[in-house]
């Protein structure tokens, strides 16, 4: 087990190193280069040369990469030029990270709570109208562009019906106390229940939009997996032994069918980050996703490099954790 | 294998055998009875090839028929677009009805059932002609992604060993960057965004997915008996890869390609939404129309709803078709 974890950790370090190299090369090959990105196209040659020297761009490329890595390890990615001009890019990342984590967490909980039971029910009622309807429904969910769905939800439930807030994470008039950066958790910790409830209301629409694709994926994996397991010999044995339906469903079918679902949930983190870019932009949610969207619009490369690097690292770490969890549940994985 | 055969004849027979024993593949041809017996192949399909049995199941599957119907209709509209479209999609025919302050979007009226956009261009005609560019983006992104994945996957699957390790680590790194973020990063590299930057950006994201898929099924082929037999007979490595392994590995990859077309059309819309789409709107494309409509979305939602609806229906068509193909070709569901 320890060897398995160590091997995966080493692999992860390798991936992160290559990734840093890619982000570094990407920054250097952006149109006009870093200098134009910061100073604009019309800067005087003297100013360009000065900035080039200040950024170390006159050094050989491997020296530049080494400097980039050293600065990255210290969290120095330069100042933002577009998202919040002048402030430190890494600070922007740290401030906005909790918002996206909170939103993604809500979305994945929604997706799991709907996807697993519906997937199980669809498999048990195979080839009925319920099965066909939910399968086609989940496929429609995948076919709708996420940002369009977000617009629809916002237009209908926030602007027309006024049921839920239009944008943001919390009503600024509430003047809630900040502890962790997770607004719902903050509200609960400080017992400001109205603040927590307000944060939840702000989460519902973006989380719904964000949850569609993970829901569709979890639903279909659960359905396929339950269908597979239902035909296994041990389920037939359990049935012929006369075990109650409840025991067969819970212990024999669901527990075995959920193994692939666990991996899928881990793989969804990348998709959640992408979805967050689109939904947060629509709802002006103030998380990482919105920062990335604005950074691309305004070419804020300082913020982009942090976000791309950290998004990829988050994805790799979460999948490492999922793999370890999987190895704990299923010993066969370890020997691979 | 009877020992009386000449070596040349044997090789030929194994070559043919390997090419025909494509169980679990979409391109395996009908299994020839004689060679099947020779190889000790269990005759469970009783002479019915995978394609034939898959087609039998697909013919009666309403989900597949719906998906295929939508796809065929979409392709037909794209081909005959200039003949179907009632107006020139680039002409500002209703430009006098556009009032920048009070009414930027002319509503539906006689001859213009869906109204016009903020340049006075007929929306219905733009949607019909837009199907062309949409199809081009979807198909080109998929073909380029497929070609890239084919190269990497074949390299990894054919050689194994350290080549496999290096290629797959590279693929892992690409997969660790969330897909749209990768696409947007690549699109941002272009000096001037255009239809081609959109296509290349989306294609790049598909490369690691195709590569992984192909490598997986190639590795399974490597371990299979017909490849071992061909190797034992001294068939050249290139012949083994291109005549035995590759054709038998393509099935799942082709199904994936159907699904990728749907994803590419949706991703193109997302790129437009983020301001990295094709800014030149003389050649309309649905994703670009949807992206451009966002500035009016709360006052004139219809402007966004039409292209969005087109994208949803077409993406659904490709998805329904791809999913039912996958199910039909999956040996597990053959009953």
| DSSP assignment string, B151-203 | HHHHHHHHH-HHHHHHHHHHHHHHHHS-HHHHHHHHHHTSSS--HHHHHHHHH
> Does residue B38 surpass a pLDDT of 80?
no
Mean pLDDT, residues A280-293: 88
pLDDT tens-digit series, residues A211-255? 999 999 899 889 988 888 888 888 888 888 888 888 887 778 887
DSSP letters for A52-100: HHHHTTTS-HHHHHHHHHHHHHTT---B-SSSSTTSBHHHHHHHHHHHH
The full length of chain A comes to 336
DSSP secondary structure code for residue A177 in this structure? P
**What pairs with residue B109 in β-bridges?**
B112
Q: Is A143 on the interface with B (CB under 8 A)?
A: yes
Contact check, Cβ <8 Å, B304/A148: yes
Distance to chain B for A29, nearest Cα, Å: 7
> Does residue B10 surpass a pLDDT of 50?
no
Nearest to A155 among B179, B301, B320 (CB): B301
The structure tokens listed for B238 are 């290139």
Nearest to B304 among A151, A228, A304 (CB): A151
Tell me how far CA of residue B292 lies from CA of B22, B136, B196, B279, in angstroms: 47, 19, 18, 9
pLDDT tens-digit series, residues B157-193? 778 788 888 888 888 888 878 888 888 888 888 878 8
User: CA B277, B283, B284 angle in degrees (round to 5)?
Assistant: 70
pLDDT tens-digit series, residues A136-159? 889 888 899 999 999 999 999 988
In chain B, residues with a C-beta closer than 8 Å to the C-beta of A155 are 297-298, 301
Nearest to A155 among B189, B298, B313 (CB): B298
Look at residues A135, A115, A113 and name the one whose alpha carbon lies nearest to residue A126: A135
The single residue listed with the structure tokens 């898959």 is: B54
Contact check, Cβ <8 Å, B170/A18: yes
Closest residue in chain B to residue A319, using alpha carbons only: B176
Could you tell me which residues come within 8 angstroms of residue A227 by beta carbon, excluding any fewer than 6 positions away? A123, A126
The CA distance from A161 to A145, in Å, is 23
Could you tell me which residues come within 8 angstroms of residue A76 by beta carbon, excluding any fewer than 6 positions away? A90
Q: Is A140 on the interface with B (CB under 8 A)?
A: yes
DSSP secondary structure code for residue A29 in this structure? T
- Asked if B173 contacts A22 with a C-beta cutoff of 8 angstroms, the reply is yes
Band of residue A189 on the pLDDT scale cut at 50, 70, 90: confident
The CA distance from A129 to B293, in Å, is 37
C-alpha dihedral sign at A96, A99, A104, A105 = positive
The CA distance from B332 to B335, in Å, is 8
Look at residues A250, A311, A303 and name the one whose alpha carbon lies nearest to residue A37: A303
Task: Choose the weakest-confidence range: A28-32, B183-187, B303-307.
Answer: A28-32
pLDDT tens-digit series, residues A43-58? 777 777 777 777 677 7
User: Phi then psi for B138, rounded to 5 degrees?
Assistant: -60, -50
> Does residue B9 surpass a pLDDT of 50?
no
- What's the pTM value of the predicted model, to 2 decimals? 0.81
The CA distance from B183 to B204, in Å, is 7
Buried b (16+ CB within 10 A) or exposed e, A3-24: eeeeebeeebeebbebbbebbb
Band of residue A40 on the pLDDT scale cut at 50, 70, 90: low
* Residue B332: per-residue pLDDT: 56
Look at residues A58, A125, A28, A101 and name the one whose alpha carbon lies nearest to residue A286: A101
Give the number of other Cβ atoms within 10 Å of residue B234's Cβ. Answer: 8
**Residues of chain B whose C-beta is under 8 A from some C-beta in A?**
63, 169-170, 172-173, 175-181, 184-185, 188-191, 262, 266, 269-270, 273-276, 290, 294, 297-298, 301, 304, 308, 311-313, 315-316, 319-320, 323, 332
Look at residues B321, B190, B305 and name the one whose alpha carbon lies nearest to residue B262: B321
Is residue A102 exposed (0-12), middle (13-18) or buried (19+ Cβ within 10 Å)?
buried
The structure tokens listed for B93 are 């025919």
B interface test, pick of A8, A136, A147, A158 with most B CB neighbours within 10 Å:
A147
Nearest to B178 among A22, A30, A274 (CB): A274
The CA distance from B144 to B214, in Å, is 15
Tell me how far CA of residue A315 lies from CA of B213, B256, B304, in angstroms: 20, 23, 33
Average pLDDT, chain B: 78
C-alpha dihedral sign at B299, B302, B305, B310 = negative
Q: H helices within B223-301, ranges in order?
A: 225-232, 237-239, 246-273, 286-293
Look at residues A263, A264, A254 and name the one whose alpha carbon lies nearest to residue A230: A254
Closest residue in chain A to residue B260, using alpha carbons only: A143
* Residue B200: per-residue pLDDT: 93
Nearest to B181 among A15, A18, A274 (CB): A274
The single residue listed with the structure tokens 């109208």 is: A129
> Does residue B8 surpass a pLDDT of 70?
no
Closest residue in chain B to residue A25, using alpha carbons only: B189
The CA distance from A203 to A167, in Å, is 9
Orientation of helix B246-273 relative to helix B179-188, angle to 10°:
70
Give the number of other Cβ atoms within 10 Å of residue A125's Cβ. Answer: 13
Mean pLDDT, residues A128-137: 87
- Asked if A229 contacts A256 with a C-beta cutoff of 8 angstroms, the reply is yes
The CA distance from B90 to B121, in Å, is 6
Orientation of helix A301-329 relative to helix A89-124, angle to 10°:
40
Average pLDDT, chain A: 83
Give the number of other Cβ atoms within 10 Å of residue B12's Cβ. Answer: 12
The full length of chain B comes to 335
The structure tokens listed for A230 are 């239902």
Tell me how far CA of residue A292 lies from CA of A154, A278, A279, in angstroms: 21, 9, 12
Higher pLDDT residue, A138 or B222? A138
3-state DSSP helix/strand/coil % of chain B, to nearest 5: 70, 0, 30
This model of the complex carries an ipTM of 0.82
Could you tell me which residues come within 8 angstroms of residue A323 by beta carbon, excluding any fewer than 6 positions away? A8, A266, A333
The CA distance from A79 to B75, in Å, is 48
B99 in helix, strand or coil? strand
- Asked if B251 contacts B25 with a C-beta cutoff of 8 angstroms, the reply is yes
CA dihedral A180, A184, A186, A189 (to 10 degrees): -130
- Asked if B121 contacts B154 with a C-beta cutoff of 8 angstroms, the reply is no
Band of residue A37 on the pLDDT scale cut at 50, 70, 90: low
Contact check, Cβ <8 Å, B275/A151: no
**What pairs with residue B99 in β-bridges?**
B103
3-state DSSP helix/strand/coil % of chain A, to nearest 5: 80, 0, 20
Chain Cα centroid distance, residue A255: 26
Look at residues B323, B291, B80 and name the one whose alpha carbon lies nearest to residue A223: B323
B116 in helix, strand or coil? strand
């Amino acid at each position: 087990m320890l060897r398995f974890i160590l091997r995966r950790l080493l692999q992860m370090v390798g991936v992160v190193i290559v990734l840093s190299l890619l982000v570094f090369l990407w920054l250097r090959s952006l149109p006009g280069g870093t200098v134009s990105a910061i100073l604009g196209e019309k800067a005087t040659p003297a100013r360009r040369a000065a900035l080039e020297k200040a950024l170390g761009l006159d050094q050989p490329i491997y020296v530049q990469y080494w400097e980039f890595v050293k600065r990255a390890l210290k969290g120095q990615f330069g100042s933002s030029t577009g998202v919040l001009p002048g402030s430190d890019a890494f600070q922007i990342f740290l401030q906005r990270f909790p918002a996206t984590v909170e939103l993604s967490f809500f979305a994945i909980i929604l997706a799991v709570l709907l996807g697993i039971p519906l997937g199980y029910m669809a498999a048990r009622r195979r080839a009925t109208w319920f099965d066909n309807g939910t399968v086609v429904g989940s496929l429609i969910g995948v076919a709708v562009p996420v940002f369009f769905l977000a617009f629809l939800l916002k237009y209908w439930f926030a602007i027309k019906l006024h049921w839920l807030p239009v944008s943001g994470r919390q009503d600024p008039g509430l003047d809630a106390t900040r502890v962790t950066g997770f607004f719902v958790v903050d509200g609960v910790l400080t017992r400001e229940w109205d603040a927590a409830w307000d944060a939840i209301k702000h989460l519902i629409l973006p989380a719904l939009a964000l949850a569609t694709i993970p829901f569709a994926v979890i639903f279909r994996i659960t359905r396929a997996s339950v269908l597979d397991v239902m035909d296994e010999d041990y389920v037939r044995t359990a049935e012929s032994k006369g075990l109650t339906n409840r025991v067969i469903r819970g212990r024999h079918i669901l527990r075995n069918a959920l193994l692939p679902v666990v991996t899928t949930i881990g793989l969804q983190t990348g998709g959640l980050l992408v979805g967050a870019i689109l939904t947060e932009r629509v709802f002006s949610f103030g998380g990482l996703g919105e920062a990335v969207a604005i950074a691309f619009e305004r070419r804020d490369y300082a913020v982009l490099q942090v976000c791309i690097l950290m998004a990829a690292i988050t994805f790799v770490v979460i999948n490492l954790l999922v793999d370890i969890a999987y190895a704990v549940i299923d010993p066969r994985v370890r020997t691979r | 294998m009877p020992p009386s055969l000449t070596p040349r004849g044997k090789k030929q027979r194994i070559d043919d055998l390997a090419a025909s024993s494509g169980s679990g593949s979409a391109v395996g041809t009908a299994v020839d009875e004689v060679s099947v017996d020779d190889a000790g192949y269990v005759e469970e399909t009783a002479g019915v090839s995978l394609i034939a049995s898959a087609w039998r199941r697909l013919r009666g599957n309403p989900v597949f028929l719906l998906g295929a119907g939508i796809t065929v209709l979409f392709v037909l509209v794209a081909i005959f677009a200039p003949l179907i479209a009632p107006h020139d999609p680039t002409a500002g025919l209703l430009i006098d009805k556009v009032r920048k302050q009070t009414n930027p979007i002319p509503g539906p009226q006689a001859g213009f059932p869906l109204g016009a956009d903020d340049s006075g261009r007929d929306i219905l005609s733009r949607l019909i002609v837009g199907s062309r560019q949409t199809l081009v983006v979807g198909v080109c992104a998929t073909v380029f992604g497929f070609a890239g994945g084919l190269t990497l996957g074949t390299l990894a699957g054919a050689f194994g060993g350290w080549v496999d390790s290096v290629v797959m680590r590279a693929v892992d790194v690409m997969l660790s960057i969330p897909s749209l973020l990768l696409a947007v990063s690549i699109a941002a590299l272009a000096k001037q965004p255009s239809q081609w930057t959109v296509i290349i950006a989306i294609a790049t994201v598909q490369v690691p997915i195709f590569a992984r898929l192909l490598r997986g099924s190639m590795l399974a082929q490597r371990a299979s008996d017909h490849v071992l037999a061909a190797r034992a007979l001294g068939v050249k490595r290139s012949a083994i890869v291109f005549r035995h392994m590759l054709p038998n590995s393509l099935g799942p990859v082709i199904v994936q390609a159907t699904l990728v077309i749907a994803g590419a059309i949706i991703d193109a819309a997302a790129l437009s939404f983020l301001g990295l789409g094709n800014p030149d709107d003389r050649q309309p494309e649905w994703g670009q129309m949807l992206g451009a409509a966002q500035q009016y979305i709360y006052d004139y939602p219809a402007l966004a709803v039409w292209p969005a609806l087109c994208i949803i229906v077409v993406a659904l068509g490709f998805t329904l078709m791809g999913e039912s193909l996958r199910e039909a070709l999956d040996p597990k569901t053959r009953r």
